């Protein structure tokens, strides 16, 4: 018996009745022979971890554009924090930890340079709009390696629906969706305090009374609440008390940090860079790298330009912009 088959049998024996079982996956875009050692979800996790799009996350902004200091989060460190929180919840609920980890590692592959500012600019420029979760799917299904990563349906569903109106079909995907929020609310508070944008005393007192005053306490409260509320249920959620405090804290962050924290000059700079790159490559399609020109015949020139810009790191976008301005 292959090692993979032993792991699959163990999953069926140990995991919750609500867990996604790797041997019962709905399959891949293109059929493949299964690995002798790894389950299908373990294989997906490894493919994401080794792809170029994942490595580029280390130089993509989370909230603050090109911050001074080594301790501010990037899109990569955010992804790792989401993965850690998700795995903790999945293990406690006896759900499939490998599937949860794969979704968490891949959920933000499609994020633009300059964080949500970059996403808003591309969304306004493209006639088809731009959403980072859909771009993440585009990366794993089409762009990465020139033909996609050929991931399982369950992983792709979790990545696609980690944000937006649709809820993931698996509980593992639902865990990543709620863990994403737990991670960014708390680490963005930490970064905003480090950047002297807010102080700990500014945080809503009613939220802090419920969730805790420190970074560690708030995450622990939220995670324990998700586990307690979701135990032996066919869905993932929070209690009314903790859920309401979490949403109020998120609203506070949007009002005080996400909207106002980046200086007007930095926003204008990010807008100008992405807008100028967008129109430059629309006029000079032949200058796109081959991996992006290959998809133009099927999806159009504008999509190829969006794919290229969305894949850039912050520093590459700035460097390319400066080099084009010098021509």
Residue 238 lies in a domain: yes
- Does residue 240 lie in a domain region? yes
Residue with tokens 């949403």: 247
Residues contacting residue 120 through CB under 8 Å, at least 6 positions apart: none
Range of the domain at 301: 3-18+36-325
What mean pLDDT comes out for the span 222-243?
Answer: 98
Count of domains for the chain: 1
pLDDT of residue 29: 94
Question: For residues 299 and 37, what is the distance between their CA atoms, to the nearest angstrom?
Answer: 37
Give the domain CATH number at 83.
Answer: 1.10.3210.10
Helix (H, G, I), strand (E, B) or coil at 28: strand
Tokens of 247: 């949403």
- Alpha helix (H) residue ranges in the chain: 3-14, 40-50, 52-56, 75-92, 97-106, 115-125, 132-138, 153-160, 171-194, 205-211, 215-230, 240-253, 264-283, 290-293, 296-299, 301-310, 314-325
The upper half-sphere exposure of residue 199, i.e. CA atoms within 13 Å in the direction of its Cβ, equals: 1
169 occurs within a structural domain: yes
Look over the chain and give the mean of its residue pLDDT values, rounded to a whole number: 93
Asked whether the beta carbons of 131 and 123 are under 8 A apart, the reply is yes
Q: Which pLDDT score is estimated for 298? A: 86
Is there a domain that residue 29 lies in? no
CB burial readout 289-323, b (16+ within 10 A) else e: eebbeebbeeeebbbbbbbbbbbbbbeebbebbee
Residue 72's pLDDT is what? Answer: 74
**What pLDDT digit, counting tens, does each position of 189-210 carry?**
988 888 888 899 999 999 999 9
Q: Is residue 70 part of a domain?
A: yes
Residues 6+ apart with CB under 8 A from 75: 57, 58, 60, 61, 62, 108, 111, 115
- Whether residue 23 lies inside any domain: the answer is no
pLDDT band at 63 (very low <50, low <70, confident <90, very high): low
Q: Which residues contact 123 (CB under 8 A, 6 or more apart)?
A: 129, 130, 131
Phi, psi (rounded to 5 degrees) for 70: -90, 0
What is the Cα 113 distance to its own chain's centre? 13
DSSP-derived 3-state class of residue 250: helix
Instruction: Give the model confidence (pLDDT) of 289-306 as tens digits.
Output: 988 888 888 899 999 999
Q: How many alpha carbons fall within 13 Å on the CB side of residue 29? A: 14
Looking at residue 263, what is its pLDDT?
A: 52
Domain-embedded: residue 259:
yes
Is 28 a member of any domain?
no
Question: What span, in angstroms and rounded, lies between the C-alpha atoms of 304 and 159?
Answer: 21
Region 175-189 average pLDDT:
96
Mean pLDDT of 250-277: 82
Q: Sort residue 129 into left (φ over 0), alpha (ψ -120 to 50) or beta.
A: left
């Amino acid at each position: 018996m292959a090692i993979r088959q032993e792991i699959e049998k163990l999953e069926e024996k140990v995991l919750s009745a609500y867990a996604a079982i790797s041997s019962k996956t709905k399959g891949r875009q293109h059929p493949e022979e299964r690995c002798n050692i790894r389950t299908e979800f373990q294989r997906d996790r490894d493919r994401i971890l080794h792809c170029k799009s994942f490595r580029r996350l280390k130089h993509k902004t989370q909230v603050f554009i090109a911050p001074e200091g080594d301790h501010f989060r990037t899109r990569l460190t955010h992804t790792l924090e989401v993965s850690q929180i998700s795995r903790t919840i999945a293990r406690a609920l006896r759900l499939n930890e490998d599937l949860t980890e794969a979704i968490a590692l891949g959920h933000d592959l499609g994020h633009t340079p300059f964080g949500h500012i970059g996403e808003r600019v591309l969304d306004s420029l493209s006639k088809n709009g731009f959403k980072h979760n859909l771009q993440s799917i585009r990366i794993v299904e089409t762009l990465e390696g020139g033909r996609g990563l050929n991931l399982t349906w369950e992983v792709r569903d979790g990545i696609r629906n980690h944000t937006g109106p649709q809820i993931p079909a698996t509980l593992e995907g639902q865990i990543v969706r709620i863990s994403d929020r737990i991670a960014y609310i708390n680490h963005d508070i930490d970064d905003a305090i480090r950047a002297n944008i807010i102080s700990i005393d500014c945080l809503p007192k009613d939220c802090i009374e419920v969730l805790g005053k420190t970074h560690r306490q708030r995450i622990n409260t939220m995670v324990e609440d998700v586990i307690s509320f979701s135990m032996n249920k066919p869905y993932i959620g929070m209690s009314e008390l903790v859920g309401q405090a979490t949403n109020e804290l998120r609203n506070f962050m949007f009002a005080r940090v996400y909207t106002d924290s980046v200086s007007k000059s930095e926003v204008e700079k990010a807008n100008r860079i992405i807008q100028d790159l967008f129109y430059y490559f629309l006029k000079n399609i032949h200058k796109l790298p081959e991996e992006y020109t290959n998809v133009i015949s099927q999806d159009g020139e504008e999509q190829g330009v969006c794919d290229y810009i969305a894949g850039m790191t912050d520093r590459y976008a700035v460097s390319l912009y400066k080099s084009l301005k010098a021509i």
